[in-house]
Structure 1
Amino acid sequence: MNLVTPKLLESVRHENVESKLAPSLDRRRLRTYALILIADAALFNLAFALGSLVWEGRWAEPRAMLAAQAMLPAFFTIAFYNSSYGLKALSDWLFATRKALIALVISAGLINFVAFYTKSNEDFSRAAVTLGLLFTAIMLFALRWSITMLIQWRWNGRIANRLVIDDDGSSFLYPDAVAISARAFNLDPGSHDPFMLDRLGKLLRNQDHVVISCPRERREQWAFMLKSAGVYGEIVSEPAHSLGAVGVHRYAELDRTTLVVSTGPLGLRSRIVKRAFDIAVAAAGLLVLSPLLLAVALLIKLEDGGPVLFVQRRLGRGNQFFEMRKFRSMREEKLDHDGERSTARDDDRITRIGAFMRRTSIDELPQLINVLRGEMSIVGPRPHALGSRANNKFFWEVDRKYWQRHCLKPGLTGLAQVRGHRGATEFEKDLTDRLQSDLEYIAKWSLMRDIKIVLRTVMVLKHDNAY
C-alpha cells in the first residue's frame, strides 16, 4: 500500500524549500559600503590633519584640510567607477587596496592639475599635502585589510548568495555555494505548473549568482527560466547562440566554462531608486487618499455587510505567489478567487458600489499596501490571477514569453494600462498586446519613465475597458 500521497509529497517539498531559502545580503553589503564610505571620508581628514601636525606643528592646519576637502569628491567619484565599493572589494583586500590607491593617485593628480591652471598651488603646503597623501594611502590599506578580516570573522567571508542546481549535468563544485538537486525538489524547466514555478522562485530569491548544470537538451529551458526569474544566471556549457548568452565565464580552477544567460533587469542602484520611489509614492498616496479609502470601505460594508477587501493569490516577481489586495467589488457568494471567469460588461456578480469602483479603478487602491510590503511596485507589469485565460487558453499557453514579465515586481499601473490594454482578455491579441508593452517596459526601465506612466495613469483611470 502506497502511503505517500501527492499532498504529503508536496508538503515535504515545501519544507525542503523552506530549509534552502537564502537570506537577503543586499542590506548587509549596503551597510558595509556605507561604513567604508564614511570611514574613507574620516581617514582622509585624519591623515591630512596628521600630516599638517607633523610638518607644520599644527593639528588640522587650514591649508592642508582645504586640500583634503578638495580631493575627497574626486576620490569618491573615481572610486565609485573603478569598483572600489564593489562586491570583489569586500572579499579581496589586495584588489580593494589597489583600486583605492588608484583612485587616490588620480584624484591627487586631478586636483594638482586644476590648482596649477588656477594658480592656487600656493594655497597648499606641498610637504603637508604629500604627508597627508602618504598617511591616507597607509590608512586605506589598513582599512581594506581590516574590513576583509572582519567580514571573514563575522560572516565567514560570505558576502553573496550562490546556488548550484544540478539537473543531471556534469559536476560543478563551486566553493561557498549551496548545491541542490533539481530532481529532489521536482524542478522541471519545461513545466508551466505555477506551483513548481513558485518553488523555483523561492529557491532563486535573494540569490546573487545561480549556476545550472544540465544536459544539452534542457539548457535552453533553463536559460529561459533564469531570464524569467530576473537573477544573474549561468549554465554550464559551451557557447550556444540559441541561449542568447550575454557573456562567458571561465573557471580555470574547475576546468569548466559557463555561459552568462541572464543578469537581472535592474542593477542594485536602479533597484534602490525604484524602491525609494515606490515607498514615497505609496506612503503619500495612502496618507492623501485615506478619507476616500475609509469612505469606500464604509460604503462596501453598508451595501451587503460582507468583507471590505478581496484578497487573491497572484503571480509576482520571480513567478512567486503573493496575496494581492483589492476593494471587494463582487458579491461575496460569487467571488472568483482563481480568476477563471473574466469580468464582463453588466456582470451580474458586481455590486452597485463595485461597478463604480471598477469604472474609476478605485478598487485597486489597497494595492498601495502591497507596494509598501515590497510585493508590488507602483509601476510594473500588472499581476494576473492563476486561472486567467485568453481565447480559452492559459496566458502562458498563448505565449511562452509570458513568464518573462515576472522578472520585475508587478505594478499598480503599467505601460500596458496607459496604452489602453485593459479589461477582459477575450482574444489572444488582448494578451499579446499587454505582454509586448510589459517586456518593452522591462527592457527600457528608467525612473523618468515610471514618473511619466504615473502621470499618464491619472488620465486613464476611467476607461471604456474598465468594468
Structure 2
Amino acid sequence: MLRQNQRFLTQIYVLFDAVGMIVAFLAAYWIKFESGWLPGTEALSFSSYLLWGLVYAILAVLVGYSAGLYKPRRRTKLSTDVWKLGQVHLLSFVGLLSFLYFAKEIHVSREFLGIFLGLNLTVLSVYRIAVKMTLFRLRRAGYNKKYLLILGAGSVGRNFYKSLLQYPELGYEVFGFLDDNLKEHPPTGHRMPPILGGLDRLDEVLRNHLIDEVIVALPLAAYEKYAEIIETCDNAGAKTLIIPDYFDLLPARPYFDNFAGIPLINVRDIPLDELGNRLLKRVFDIVFSIAAIIVTSPIMLIAAIGIKLTSPGPVIFKQERMGLDRRTFVMYKFRTMHVSDQKTADTQWTVENDPRRTKFGAFLRRTSIDELPQFFNVLKGDMSVVGPRPERPYFVEQFKDEIPKYMVKHHVRPGITGWAQTNGLRGDTSIQDRINHDLYYLENWSFMFDLKIIILTILRGFVNRNAY
C-alpha cells in the first residue's frame, strides 16, 4: 500500500473549497441585498439564490476534478495553482450563466453575480495561497517531508540531487544513492548523500527505511533491470519515477501516446493537434478578428490616408512569410517604408534608424498599427490571433541551421501576437529566446493561455521601442 493520503487531502480541499464558495455567496448576498451599499431590491427569494449557489459549487467541484485542480500539488508552482483555480472558476461561472439562461431565470441580479465571482476568486485564491505558503514554511523547517532514494550515482542522478536542493520548499530529502559501479561520489564541491551499496540492496533499504519515492537515474545500458526495480518498489509501497537517460531531448512536459496498443513517448506533444482544440481556436480567431476589424476600422482608415499623403506607393505592403506546416503565405501590413524592389524587402533585416522607413511609417511601427491588416490574414486562415510570429523564407533558411528546434514553431499557425512578444521579445532581440518562448507556447497551449496573452498584449501596450 502506497504511503499516500492523497484521497483524504483531496476530500479536505473539496470541503474547504465548498466552504469558501458558501462564504463568498453569503458575503455577496449581504453586500447586494442587506448592506444598503447598493441600490435595488431582492427580485428572488434567498432560497432561490442559495439553490443556484449550490449548483455553482457542485459545478465548480466537477470542473475542478476534470481540470486536475485536485491532483497532488506538491510539485506545482504557486502561480500555477492560482492560475488553474482561476480557469476552473471562470469556466464554472460561464456554466452557471448557461444554466440560468436555459432555466429562463432572468431575475437573478447581475450585480450579485459579479460580486459573487469576484469574492469567490478572492476567497479561494487567498485560502490556497495561505495553505501553500504554510506548507512551504513547514517543509523548509523540516516538517511534512518526503524521502527519496536515487538509483544511479552518475551525472544524471547527481544533477537531479543538485537541482532538488534549489527547491527546499518542496519538502523532499534524499536518503541516499544505490549504484553498482560507484562506492563513493567523485569530488563535486557539494555534500552528497551516501552511496549505500549496489542495486541489489534496493529491497533491503525499502524494507528497513521509510522511502516515499524511488528516482531511477540509470543509463540505458541498465534497461533490463527496470522491471525488477519497479516490482520491488511496488511491493514496498514506494512510488517509482524514471529519469530517461535522454531526458535532455524531451520537452518539459512529455506526453505518453498509444499506437497499435503500445505506449509511446510523444517527444513533441502539441495540444493543437487535437481537432477540438483546433476548432475552438479557429472559431475564436474568426469572431475576434471580425470584432477587431470593426473596432479598429477608423484607425486603419486614418493610417491608410496618412500613408497616401506622406509617400507614393500602395497602402498595403504584401510579403511572403512561412506559416503552418512550412507552407508560405502572403502577409499583409500597412506600408511603412519607401517602395523598393521585392528582393531587398525579402532579404534585408530592418535596423534602427533604417533609411528606408518613412516618418509616418516609423510611427506606425512603434505603435504596432502597421500590424492591423493581419486580422484579414486571420480571417483567411493563414494566421491566428495568438501564435509564433511568422518569418520570411529567406531568414527561415538561415535560422533553421543556426537555431536549434527553430522549425518546430511551424506546427501551428503563426500569430499577430505571441508569448514571446508579450515578454518583450520583439524587433532586435534574441532569436533563441523567442524560439524558447514559442516552444513553451506550443507545448502548453490552452484557450485560457491565449486569452492571457491577448490581455497581456493590451495591458503592456502596443508601443514597442525595438520595432524599427
Name the TM tier (shorter chain): 0.3 to 0.5
TM-score, normalised on structure 2? 0.43
TM-score, normalised on structure 1? 0.43
